[in-house]
Chain A
């Protein structure tokens, strides 16, 4: 019972913390760019405002347009349920593993793309096409990074991977671990539509990907989509932190261990989010047709990681 309560709490934690993470990254980016910036809780106010607004739906849209935000939210929440956050004893392992998580994220991407195509506007189609292309090209990197984790951990379950790393920390010393981490981070940038793949701060630009797909959405649907995007970013950052650097996670159900775990995960996410903000300030967006080169690089890193895991396991 405690396992389930813990799992639900962790999932709820990710769901609630997601907007704050996005707010923090935006605030830090603003500070780094010499602006004052809105506070880190601004996304909550934005969500409250958009949720309470009315909606304008394109007359060309069909029921897919209404279904898409719900499926995007559902798939992201289901993916979040698989992620170990505070405790390494993960009930989500019963449901599925990293491959299932990948497939759930793809489900969300597919409906986002369908929602972009549905009103029949040029921007929506453009965004959908690009989003699907980037998602497809990211898949191999993620799969190989998962393989290199699974080779040392003996399983693709998230809980097992973190637990194995906690009990045998020497696994993290090998080159495979670092390479896989780097590959995973690049793939994550592409998956979540961050710079240098997509710029989350642009609207009305021919280069936009994610924003182009949600251009026709307004009111509560827009709020749901924005929140799902924030949740996706949060869950992938948590995943990167806990799969590769699991130290600090609770291995027992004691209150003290859980408190340490919570503090650890907050610290790790804060570090990663800071890195993200610094990176987004430092680099420019890549041309769309240069993105595959970046992804090819991360793929090579992942392949090296998997190959070296063969020899160090």
Chain B
């Protein structure tokens, strides 16, 4: 059945991209193409769920397709199926959303291109986890990267899109090269098929192993957004159309997680626990960096993009922990680490796609993307506000939503790890736990700030005052992930039991999980019963509401806010997004390195008469400055030096040709 589903999905994506280009002008192209995308996503989801439940994996090979590169090999196993189902799960609402969101592009060439590329992007993302040889993997990887690049730069009016696209393109291709090099070293002269590589990987020397791990982490980390190779992410996500940002954040960066797990836990032999510690530290640093920037950023979609960086960090804590525990010989804990990582991958995919879709609706409705220009949207966009609140609460990891469940599991994971391992980890695991707790707390700050500044209080600009509610298709599309947030939060075992099958397939058996409503894990001495907590919350909340309604002796009066006796209330006196983050900026001064620039304009007669004060406050992007500026400078220097050869003299060029040939022959001889 899953073969058919894959065929349907790929056919639908192909039909979607062709029809977007070929359909007669008008809204038809949009509808047909996005309907195809939706069908494809549903088929992909069906494929994923079917394989996850049955556990049947199959392979398919064709030597004719991509023949010069060694043919196409596909294999569906539970791990691949899980990631395909994430693509389907988030792609389906994104397709519905685009129906309303991109209505303005009807009839134009750009609209057609965006719909066609959207389908290609989805197809690429579905194929990456299914690839079973290097050629297919890299081909699908590149299809995904290029189509998403084109989507990022698709809006000419979007300020900064070309620069964002360039960052993305350079990072993703540097990653591609690293990936290629890593695969070639991993294969060691053998065939570039994953099964053969898996069999041969045991023969790698420790040094080669280390190089492969580093190359793979650089490549997959740059796709996923691990610090310090995350820099493209907060640039590219805001530039892309919102349904594409949702997919990039929910599905595409997750394929970096997929690649890491596939290579480190499937293709490669067991690694030393040292790598686990390094990966865990990398995840924690990524999470902290992401959340600190997300708290301070004022651009709505960039807040969400940094929050993606944060969550990727939290996800990478899982594989790092798993490597560490496998190194210490505790297979069950290692399996739990991966299960928690995969579960958070799913949860984040769901709530972040919801939030990006809501952000798109807000930017669309209020015609601004800066939090400082919003405000009061809850009255103008009531449905979007409710849906966004669900996403925001999931982001803040509070019960009874899904973000809380994965945070709880991460905490339990680190506690269990600390209990069952040597005192060698006596500082590392408590520090990791503290960092995860700090990240959770700061994520709550970021969530409150996002919702409170954008949706509550008075509108700060005319754009926010005249904001309109999103079309029905967009709201319906947001409803799907919102429901998924609630369901995964209330019944986490629904997904967790499937995930144990995934890690068992990777040689890390975890045993059968309890399928009841309560969450009971092996080696964890405590349990969680989300439905009961939710019921308790609902019950107590309703009683409180009833008490406040029945007890009051006088009717409710609606009047101006008291505000400690201040009479005039204007949006200018509201708390701003920057002000909300100010205490944290002061606490973490060393991280933000804020710059303050105050200019006081005084009257020429006397300096005591101030006519105006301007304050510019920003924080230094020191990570980019220290890491990337030297690289860019070096690249520019090299290209300048190379440019000197381009004198225009054909004799010189002819002389260079044999010189290059000779150099290549020498290198080839040296390698053999």
Residues of A whose CB lies within 8 Å of any CB of B are: 51-64, 69-71, 73-75, 77-78, 81, 93-97, 99-100, 103-104, 106-107, 109-110, 113-114, 117-126, 128-130, 132-133, 135-144, 146-147, 150-151, 153-157, 160, 204, 215-216, 219-221, 223-224, 288-289, 292, 299, 302-303, 306-307, 310-311, 313
Contact = CB atoms under 8 A, between A and B. Distances in A.
Contact of A147 (B398, B415, B584): B415
Contacts of A114: 448, 451-452, 456
A94 B575 contact: no
Interface stretch (B157-165, B166-174, B405-413, B618-626): B405-413
A278 B529 CA distance: 39
B438 A150 contact: no
B405 to A, nearest CB: 10
A95 B533 contact: yes
B456 A136 contact: no
17 contacts: A55-B552, A74-B537, A94-B518, A100-B528, A100-B533, A103-B397, A107-B398, A132-B449, A135-B444, A137-B441, A139-B441, A144-B433, A160-B525, A216-B563, A220-B547, A220-B549, A303-B434
Given A70-B541, A103-B404, A220-B548, A154 B554 contact: no
A74 B540 contact: yes
A51 B399 contact: no
B291 to A, nearest CB: 9
Contacts, number: 310
A103 B393 CA distance: 11
Contact of A56 (B434, B547, B557): B557
Interface in B446-500: 447-449, 451-453, 456-458
A109 B524 CA distance: 28
Contacts of B575: 117, 122, 124-126, 128-129
Given A51-B551, A59-B559, A106 B441 contact: yes
A303 to B, nearest CB: 6
B525 A155 contact: yes
A70 B545 contact: yes
Contact of A125 (B378, B411, B560, B580): B580
Interface stretch (B197-205, B419-427, B593-601): B419-427
Nearest to B546: A70
A220 B379 CA distance: 24
Interface in B577-603: 579-584, 586-587
Which of B437, B456, B458, B538 gathers the greatest number of chain A CB atoms within 10 Å? B456
A219 B412 CA distance: 41
A120 B399 contact: no
Interface in B503-532: 518, 524-529, 532
Chain B interface SS verdict (over half): helix
A129 to B, nearest CB: 4
A97 B528 contact: yes
A113 B450 CA distance: 12
A289 B412 contact: no
Contact of B438 (A70, A124, A140, A151): A140
Nearest to B538: A74
Contacts of B580: 125, 128-129, 132
B17 to A, nearest CB: 43
B579 A136 contact: no
Contacts of A141: 434
B444 A62 contact: no
Nearest to A55: B556
B562 interface: yes
A96 B528 contact: yes
B457 A120 contact: yes
Contacts of B553: 52-54
B537 A78 contact: yes
A56 B556 CA distance: 6
